[in-house]
Each structure stands twice: as structure tokens, then as C-alpha cells.
Amino acid sequence: MTVAEAIREAAQRLATTSDTARLDAELLMAHALGCSRSDVLLRHMQAGAPEAFAALVDRRAAREPVAYILGNQEFYGLDLAVSPAVLIPRGDSEAIVRAALAAAPDAKRVLDLGTGSGALLLAVLSELPGAQGIGIDASPAALEIARQNADSLGLADRAALQAGDWTKPGWADDLGRFDLVIANPPYVEDDARLDPDVRDYEPASALFSGPEGLDDYRIIVPQLPRLLTETGVAVLEIGASQASEVSEIARQHGFTATAHRDLGGRDRALELRLALGKGESSS
């Protein structure tokens, strides 16, 4: 069987479970051949299909995400390593990066809460060459992925990746204050119906946050005043229907909130600034 025939057959098989079946098949073939997707399409279509391809298709047919099979995902133009220890960075989350850079273009100290693969922190630092960042995560396995990405992108000297759990007392005692705090916290309702690709493979601890999906905002937002400088800003990822609820949590703790939309037109990033005259006492 040629590469072209194998891709066509795989795309037909994957079409029942994937909206991007042809793309999935091409990416898996590129991985099996050890080349780029463009090389597959331009140079290898009439070659013999590699034996390893069938096993990769089996994994995708079982709903394992392509990013986990390949071990990498592009985000904000960066090639990032991923594993089942971290959420797969998605294009929607690039709204956080865009909003953060617009809100704090001169930031010198950046904190990423729940850094996972390091996607948000590393994307921001790649655009702010004068900034230093700290990424915290409660998962040692996630921190290993983030460190790998910082190393591969040449940002290890500006990105400190360390253990931290915002649900534990004293977690932020030695962090100091930041010009910019970014976060993609868990925000999915505990009983939400998710695609098997997400539900069965991505880390539940990074997804679910109580019956309303708001538990982590209720923990994080009250702690932001002691993490931010006087003119600092926080940018949090939110679910598409959560802007009003999280904005109200923010208002109760002395913040004004501005929602920013993703490329699909959905509310995705919430920019928080301390209202004039508010400070740590508002927590």
C-alpha cells in the first residue's frame, strides 16, 4: 500500500470520530515517516506506507488526541512538547497571550498560575525579551514538560518553573509581586459532558472546578492583590459563558474586569485591574 492509499484509508476510518480526519491521517503519516507533513504531500505519496502508521491510526481511532500521539503541539508559533500530564494548548488560549501583551507591554515580572506545558508563560516571554517569569504547577510531571519546553525555546534563563499549589497556605509567600499574572485555571463544571478525546485523556485536575466551574476563581482572585504590583494586571482564561460570574467574583475583591474574545468571537480572557484605591486589604 502506498502512502497516499494508507492516508486515504485512514481518513475514511477516522471520519466517524474526528472532524479533521484527513489532517489527522497526514500528521500521523508524517510522524511515522519522520518528516514534515509538507514533505509527505510533496515527496512521499507514492512511497510504501511504513508499518508504524497502522498503530498510530489505531490510537487515534481510540480517540487519543493527535498531540499526545505526536508528543508536540504548536501554540502561538511555538513548538511545544506535550504529554498526558498537561492540557493540550489550544488556539483559543492564544487570546490570553494577546490580551496580556496588550495590557502589560512593559511587564518585567510575569507569573503563570498552573503553567502546565508552559505555553502561556513561554509565549509571553518570547514577546517580552526584557521580562522574567515564574510558572507554578502542582504537578511534578507537568513541570518537567514545561522545563523541557523552556530549554528547547532558549528561555530557561528567564523562566523559573517551580512547584506551587494555590489551594495550600503559604504557597505564594516567597514569590513577591508581579506586573502581570496569567492563568488558565480549571473551569469546567464537574458534570460537564466532554468529548472522549478530552475526558478520557487530558488531566482531570486541570479541567474540573466544582459544580459551576468556578471553584478555582474563588480561590485565585482573592489572592491576586498581594501578587500584583500597584499597576499590575491579571489575565485569566474563562469558559465562554463565565464572563459575568468571574467578573462578579473579581468585583467583590476590588477589581475591574474587561472581557476579551477569542478568534471564534467567544469571551475567553478576563483582564483584571485593581480599582483605584484598592489593594491587598480588598482580599
**pLDDT tens across 35-50, in order?**
999 999 999 999 999 9
Closest CA to 256 of 267, 268, 246: 246
Q: What is the mean pLDDT of residues 6-31?
A: 97
Segment 131-144 shows an average pLDDT of 98
* Mean pLDDT, residues 190-213: 96
Q: Decide if 26 contacts 18 (C-beta within 8 A).
A: no
Asked if residue 279 has pLDDT above 60, the reply is no
Mean pLDDT of 265-279: 86
The radius of gyration of the chain's CA atoms, rounded to the nearest angstrom, is 20
DSSP class of residue 106? T
pLDDT by residue (tens digit) across 154-196? 999 999 999 999 999 999 999 999 999 999 999 999 999 999 9
Among 173, 60, 183, smallest CA distance to 116 is for 183
- Across the strands, what pairs with 113? 136, 183
Q: How far apart are CA 51 and CA 36, in angstroms?
A: 18
SS (H, E, C) 224-238: HHHCEEEEEEEEEEC
How high is the mean pLDDT of the chain?
A: 96
Compute the residue count for the chain: 283
Q: How confident is the model at residue 281 (pLDDT cuts 50, 70, 90)?
A: very low
pLDDT tens digits, 59-118: 999 999 999 999 999 999 999 999 999 999 999 999 999 999 999 999 999 999 999 999
DSSP E strands in 69-127: the ranges are 72-75, 78-81, 109-113
C-alpha cell recorded at residue 135: 510558572
All three cell numbers of 114: 498552573
Does the pLDDT at position 278 exceed 80?
Answer: no
Q: Please say whether the dihedral angle defined by the alpha carbons of residues 24, 29, 35 and 36, taken in this order, is positive or negative.
A: negative
